[in-house]
């Protein structure tokens, strides 16, 4: 989606290293969602951020939302092979009177043992 | 609680045929959204149903349609299949409308191959 830009597109890290994935919106967003996907499978919900400055953590994964910059970052501390997969950010955007979730193109993460 | 389930998991069809995919949301969830995922276009929104009514529709041709039943289960139908319809079709459910700060949970997907 051009409305949501993710970077980098792919990332290869050594086990134990920290990493950050960014998601930037070109429009006003209503909530920012992070998901993880194994190739060809469904998306696993990681966390949802609602307001600027909000930060959430789940195990070794932390996400923050900078509402002014319309940007979110996902940080993984001490990466493990189990963190490998595709990370997708999604955001709620207005669609007429409705809203819909639009997703970024994903970041492919490889963690080398 | 059981998660979102989708059937069938895999499907092979030929051009011109039609197909129906099924989705059972998490118990208590009233919203069901459908997405198409392809390597070239990524994850794209098809439509959302809430309380048996279509609330929103993405930019897909009329060959793509759906419905929701009173128990919140949903089906999507694709008529006159084209090669480009080959994709992973994902269904997601949430308690409230998607995009309104409701956590949306995805099923495992149906892999459709059109020959």
Residue B2: per-residue pLDDT: 83
For A69, other C-beta atoms within 10 Å of its C-beta total 10
Between chains, do A42 and B98 touch, taking CB under 8 Å as contact? no
B36 phi, psi to nearest 5 deg = -115, 130
Residues A35 and A90 sit within 8 Å (Cβ to Cβ): yes
3 state DSSP class of A35: strand
Residue B82: per-residue pLDDT: 97
3 state DSSP class of B85: helix
Q: Which helix (H) or strand (E) holds A86?
A: strand A85-95
Round the average pLDDT of chain A to a whole number and report it: 92
B84 phi, psi to nearest 5 deg = -70, -5
Taking contacts as CB-CB distances below 8 angstroms, the residues of chain B near A102 are 45
A34 to chain B, any CB pair closer than 8 A? The answer is: no
B113 phi, psi to nearest 5 deg = -115, 125
| Separation in Å, CA of B85 to nearest CA in chain A | 16
Integer angstrom CA distances of residue A27 from A6, A31, A90:
14, 12, 13
Residues A23 and A71 sit within 8 Å (Cβ to Cβ): yes
Residue A1: per-residue pLDDT: 56
Residues A63 and A6 sit within 8 Å (Cβ to Cβ): no
pLDDT in tens, A37-87: 998 889 999 999 988 889 999 889 999 999 888 899 999 999 999 999 999
pLDDT in tens, B13-61: 999 999 999 999 999 999 999 999 999 899 999 999 999 999 999 999 9
- A positions 50-79 inside 8 Å of B (CB): 50
Cα first-last separation, chain A: 32
Q: How much of chain A exceeds pLDDT 70, in percent?
A: 99
Taking contacts as CB-CB distances below 8 angstroms, the residues of chain A near B40 are none
Residue B16: per-residue pLDDT: 98
Between chains, do B45 and A100 touch, taking CB under 8 Å as contact? yes
Among B42, B90, B111, the residue with its CB nearest the CB of A43 is: B90
Work out the burial of residue B104: count CB atoms within 10 Å of its CB; fewer than 13 is exposed, 13-18 middle, 19 or more buried.
Answer: buried
Work out the burial of residue B25: count CB atoms within 10 Å of its CB; fewer than 13 is exposed, 13-18 middle, 19 or more buried.
Answer: buried
């Amino acid at each position: 989606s051009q409305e949501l830009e993710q970077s980098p597109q792919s990332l290869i890290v050594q086990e134990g290293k920290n990493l950050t994935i960014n998601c930037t919106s070109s429009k006003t967003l209503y909530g920012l969602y992070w998901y993880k996907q194994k190739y060809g499978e469904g998306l696993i919900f990681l966390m949802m951020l609602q307001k600027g400055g909000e930060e959430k953590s789940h195990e070794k994964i932390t996400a923050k939302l900078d509402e002014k910059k319309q940007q979110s970052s996902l940080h993984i501390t001490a990466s493990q092979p189990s963190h490998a997969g595709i990370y997708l950010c999604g955001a709620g955007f207005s669609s007429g009177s409705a809203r819909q979730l639009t997703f970024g193109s994903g970041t492919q993460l490889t963690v080398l043992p | 609680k059981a998660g979102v389930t989708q059937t069938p998991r895999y499907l092979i069809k030929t051009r011109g045929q039609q197909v129906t995919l099924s989705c059972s949301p998490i118990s208590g969830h009233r919203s069901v959204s459908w997405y198409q995922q392809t390597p070239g276009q990524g994850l794209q929104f098809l439509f959302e149903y809430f309380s048996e009514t279509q609330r929103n529709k993405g930019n897909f041709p009329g060959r793509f349609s759906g419905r929701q039943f009173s128990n919140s289960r949903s089906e999507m139908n694709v008529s006159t299949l084209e090669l480009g319809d080959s994709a992973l079709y994902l269904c997601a459910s949430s308690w409230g409308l998607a995009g309104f700060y409701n956590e949306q949970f995805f099923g495992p997907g149906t892999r459709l191959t059109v020959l």
